Chains A and B, each alone.
Chain A
């Protein structure tokens, strides 16, 4: 079943320029009929295409704020990255109080849930080494989907915890029920998130069989609404309940820091993540206990929903940590509650890249792909709409394209029909000509 992605295309803006196809780490985009199309099974919601599109035609959409009207009582779960978006902010309380003025009745910081998860992890570490090392962070939904697609052997390395926003949702809903006496369906729980992948995760959880969130709003959609009310907050109620470690989760390295003293390393940027997963898959990183993996550069502050650039946001969050205790939350859940922090379904392999479920058929297809690729120009020009000649050959064999979609193959055929042997350089664009003088400066 295809995922319900939040990354989508605006057909009116897309001009079919092919800028996006090469930046996609899972080769999930093809251009057809002057516009890009996303192969839903392959998209991991990393947001690379959104960042690179010159026409702003690929976007990710958070849930509509109208959803708040569907509930009697609404809880906001702000991700810590939100705090990094504002100039001259001296306390997280200002943001949290302002959230109560724009339609939410209660706030529960995701940073708080992050601290609980970190304490749970520290307690697990004290109990003894895990079955396999290194352990891999389960906090970035894009990385989880990447592992499920391309590194199934590493699924057992992923820590068994839910996303911080998911734990926040579970605990916030419990609190809200107890405080208001309302029945669960009257309470709406919404995360305020820095990236498309968390919007998708709110709809379809990687680790929970039932959704625990009623929606996820993009930071940039909340941002403008908050500015006015934030100015009006004069004497903010002390709502903030996370410490330095919880706020730290906003940026790459924060989750590592909260594990205290383990041999941890934080990896950010999807290409770097892929490189490290390759190393771990082959057992070449025996010295690591834990890897924090964020698809976005600099971690969640680098998500495509942020208003501020990741470095400025990181600096501001550091400023907000001043005077805060190290951590203000512990994992104290007892009995059945202990299971709340853990996934209730195992990660499942997504064999998206496998050419055919039947191995013999897959081998036949691979052989045909190689044969076709050998006859392609190897220019990766993108004119066929695929990111590379190899991807195009794969598309042809899998029935997604025809060999005539390659302009070079068509030219070849037309030449042979006309009976001419030599390829006339004049008719080719400069990058493809065999004899072309180098450009000179004026």
Chain B
């Protein structure tokens, strides 16, 4: 009932526009007067997830649910899936292509950063079907 829902489609193949969803979400979070630290962490998680969806999965969708006690960000794509999640979680590991690397992405920090800045993180992936990354950020009262 009390949840605020935000939905952002993320365009595939457009690294220039990537980051737009996290910017928009950030502005809404600021209007709610949430703690600066919470806003920053949510924004970083969203940004990294957005980049991942653009680089690896031809886009997807980010859904944000804001409750008084937490922010839940759910990023869903219909991309190739992650073959080895444990490996993908290692800092520095990346399967990003040449174009993404030339633009300064693909440092292998995406998922590790999401892990670092979130309170909970869950990856649900199926090869050939897609990936859903769910992130929880708690809002201290």
Q: Judge whether B129 is part of the interface by a CB distance below 8 angstroms.
A: no
Task: State which of A283, A284, A356, A359 has its C-beta within 8 Å of the C-beta of B34.
Answer: A359
Any B CB within 8 A of the CB of A227: no
| Min CB gap A26→B, angstroms | 12
A356 touches B40 (CB 8 A): no
Task: Report yes or no: B4 in contact with A282, Cβ–Cβ below 8 A.
Answer: no
Q: Mark interface residues in B16-38 (1 if CB within 8 Å of A CB, else 0).
A: 00010011001110111110100
Q: Does B40 contact A282, Cβ atoms closer than 8 Å?
A: yes
Known A-B contacts A153-B36, A278-B23, A282-B44; the reply to A366 vs B28 at CB < 8 A is yes
Q: A363-B4, A363-B66 known; A153 and B31 CB under 8 Å? A: no
Alpha-carbon distance A370/B25, docked complex (angstroms): 13
> Which stretch in A235-243, A246-254, A347-355, A420-428 binds the other chain?
A347-355
A354-B33 in contact given A363-B66, A370-B4 (Cβ < 8 Å): yes
Contact of B4 among A152, A153, A351, A367 (CB under 8 A): A367
Residues of B within 8 A of A278 (CB): 19, 23, 26
Interface centre among A282, A351, A354, A356 (most CB of B within 10 A): A282
B32, B44, B47, B68: residue with the most chain A Cβ atoms closer than 10 Å: B32
A362 CA to B35 CA in the complex, in Å? Answer: 13
Q: Count of B residues near A, CB < 8 Å?
A: 23
How distant is the Cα of A24 from the Cα of B102 in the complex, in angstroms? 35
Q: Is the interface of A mostly helix, strand, loop or mixed?
A: helix
Inter-subunit contact B31/A366 (CB<8 Å)? yes
Inter-subunit contact A353/B30 (CB<8 Å): yes
Question: Nearest Cβ in chain A — how far from B111, in angstroms?
Answer: 16
A354 close to B30 (CB less than 8 A): yes
Taking the complex as formed, is A150 at the interface, i.e. its CB lies under 8 A from any CB of chain B? yes
Q: Is the CB of A354 within 8 A of B23?
A: no
Q: Chain B contacts of A353 at CB under 8 A? A: 27, 30-31
Q: Which of A364-384 contact B (CB under 8 A)?
A: 366-367, 370
Contact A359 B40 (CB under 8 A): no
Q: Does B84 contact A (CB under 8 A)?
A: no
Of listed B23, B26, B31, B34, residue having the most chain A CB within 10 A: B31
Pairwise interchain contact A362-B26, C-beta atoms closer than 8 A: no
- Find the B residue at minimum CB distance from A356: B33
B1-24 residues at the A interface, CB under 8 angstroms = 2, 4-6, 19, 22-23
Chain A residues within 8 Å of B44, by CB: 282-283
Separation in Å of the A213 CB from the closest CB of chain B?
Answer: 33
Q: Note all chain A residues with C-beta closer than 8 A to B6.
A: 370
Give the shortest distance, in Å, between A28 (CB) and chain B (any CB): 15
- Expressed in whole angstroms, the minimum distance between the Cβ of B101 and any Cβ of chain A is 17
Cα–Cα, bound, A33→B36 (Å)? 38
Q: How many A-B residue pairs have CB under 8 A?
A: 54
Task: Indicate if the CB atoms of A359 and B68 lie closer than 8 Å.
Answer: yes
The answer to whether the Cβ of A360 comes within 8 Å of any Cβ in the partner chain is yes
Residues of B within 8 Å of A357, CB to CB, are 33
Chain B residue at minimum C-beta to C-beta distance from A149: B30
Tell me how far the C-beta of A349 lies from the nearest C-beta in chain B, rounded to whole angstroms.
9
Contact call B33/A281, Cβ cutoff below 8 A: no
Does B43 interact with chain A (Cβ within 8 Å)? yes
| Neighbouring B residues of A363 by C-beta, 8 Å | 2, 4, 32, 66, 68
User: Could you give, for residues 107-129 of chain B, a 1 whenever the CB lies within 8 Å of some chain A CB and a 0 otherwise?
Assistant: 00000000000000000000000
Contact of B33 among A153, A359, A370 (CB under 8 A): A359
In the complex, which residues 41-93 of chain B have their Cβ closer than 8 Å to any Cβ of chain A? 43-44, 47, 66, 68
Check if B40 sits within 8 Å of A281, measured CB to CB: yes
In the bound complex, CA of A278 to CA of B22 (Å): 10
B23 — nearest CB in chain A belongs to which residue?
A278
**Does A354 lie within 8 Å of B36, measured CB to CB?**
no
**CB-based nearest A residue for B28:** A366
A287 to B32: give the CA distance in the assembly, Å. Answer: 31
Give the residues in chain B near A356, CB-CB below 8 Å: 33
Q: Can you add 19 more A-B contacts, CB < 8 Å, to A354-B30, A366-B32?
A: A278-B19, A278-B23, A281-B26, A281-B43, A282-B40, A282-B43, A282-B44, A283-B40, A284-B47, A354-B32, A355-B31, A362-B32, A362-B33, A363-B2, A363-B32, A366-B4, A366-B31, A370-B4, A370-B5
Between-chain CB contacts (< 8 Å), 21 pairs: A278-B23, A278-B26, A281-B40, A282-B44, A283-B40, A283-B44, A284-B47, A353-B30, A354-B30, A354-B33, A355-B31, A355-B32, A357-B33, A359-B32, A359-B34, A360-B68, A362-B32, A363-B2, A363-B66, A366-B28, A370-B5
